[in-house]
A and B are shown apart, each in its own frame.
Chain A
Amino acid sequence: GIQVEQSPPDLILQEGANSTLRCNFSDSVNNLQWFHQNPWGQLINLFYIPSGTKQNGRLSATTVATERYSLLYISSSQTTDSGVYFCAGEPGRRALTFGSGTRLQVQP
C-alpha cells in the first residue's frame, strides 16, 4: 500500500518561532488533508489541499501533487499549537491513509 512519510517526527519550538512540516507520499493521492490532533485527541481540520497553496491565519499549506508532497507552515508559533500534526490522502479509494504524524511542542 501507499506510504506516507512525515518529517520531522518530533519538533520543539520556542514561542514565536516558525516551522515547516513535510509530508511525502509514495504514490499519487486525492483529497489531501492536514489535521491537528490536540492534547484531548480531537482531530481538527486544518486544510483540504489537493493542490496549490492555502493560508489560514498563521498557518499555510502547499501541495505539489506532481511531486507527491505537501508542506505545512506554522508562523509565530503559540503554545496552543502544541499537539500532533497529521497529513492524510486518499490513494485511489475513499479512505484516508495517514502519516505517523509530527509531534510539536511549543514552549513559552
Chain B
Amino acid sequence: GAGVSQSPSNKVTEKGKDVELRCDPISGHTALYWYRQRLGQGLEFLIYFQGNSAPDKSGLPSDRFSAERTGESVSTLTIQRTQQEDSAVYLCASSLGTGMQFFGPGTRLTVL
C-alpha cells in the first residue's frame, strides 16, 4: 500500500478482555516495529520483526503482550487480560532494511 495502515483506529474495551491490533506495513518493507505512546509522552519500543521472525522482543512490558507477523506482511499485536495501564496509542512502523522508519496512524486503546 501507499503507507502503513492500522486497524482499528480506536478501540474501547473492558478491563480483563483481550484485544488484537493490526498493522499493514508498506509493501516490500522487510522490517516492522511496534511502539506504544502514553498520553503526553514519547514513544516506547515494544517489538521488532525482520521478515516473520522477531529478533528483539525486549520492549514487551509483560507476558500479556504478544505479536506475530505472517507472510512478511501483516502483523498483529495481542494484549491479553487488558489492564487500565495498557491504555495508550499503539503505533506500527515499517522500514526497508535498516533505513528510515515510516509510521502508521496508530490505534488508540482505552481500557475501562
List B43-90 residues whose CB lies under 8 Å from chain A. 43-45, 48, 50, 55-56, 59, 89
How many chain B residues sit at the interface, stated as a range, is: 20 to 34
Smallest Cβ distance from B41 to chain A, in angstroms? 7
Q: Is A86's CB under 8 angstroms from B43's CB?
A: yes
Q: Is B33's CB under 8 angstroms from A31's CB?
A: no
Q: Is B31's CB under 8 angstroms from A99's CB?
A: no
Whether A88 is near chain B, meaning CB under 8 Å from some CB there, is yes
Q: Which of B42, B43, B98 contacts A94 (CB 8 A)?
A: B98
Given A31-B98, A95-B48, the answer on whether A41 and B56 have CB atoms closer than 8 Å is: no
Chain A, 66-108, contact with B by CB distance < 8 Å: what is the 0/1 string? 0000000000000000000010100001111111110000000
A88 and B31 CA atoms in complex are apart in Å by: 17
Dominant secondary structure of chain A at its interface with chain B: strand
Q: Is A95's CB under 8 angstroms from B99's CB?
A: no
Whether B106 is near chain A, meaning CB under 8 Å from some CB there, is yes
A4 and B44 CA atoms in complex are apart in Å by: 12
Q: Which of A42, A86, A95, A97 lies at the interface centre, i.e. has the most chain B CB atoms within 10 A of its CB?
A: A95
| Cβ contacts under 8 Å, B41 to chain A | 100
Q: Is A96's CB under 8 angstroms from B105's CB?
A: no
Q: Is B99's CB under 8 angstroms from A98's CB?
A: no
Could you tell me which B residues sit within 8 Å of A by CB distance?
31, 33, 35, 41-45, 48, 50, 55-56, 59, 89, 91, 93, 98-103, 105-106, 108
Those 10 A-B pairs whose CB atoms lie nearest each other, nearest first:
A98-B42, A95-B45, A43-B103, A48-B100, A98-B43, A100-B42, A94-B48, A95-B48, A42-B105, A41-B106
Further 16 A-B residue pairs, CB within 8 A, beyond A45-B102, A94-B33, A100-B42: A30-B98, A33-B100, A33-B101, A35-B103, A41-B89, A41-B105, A45-B100, A48-B100, A93-B48, A94-B48, A95-B33, A95-B59, A96-B43, A98-B42, A98-B44, A101-B42
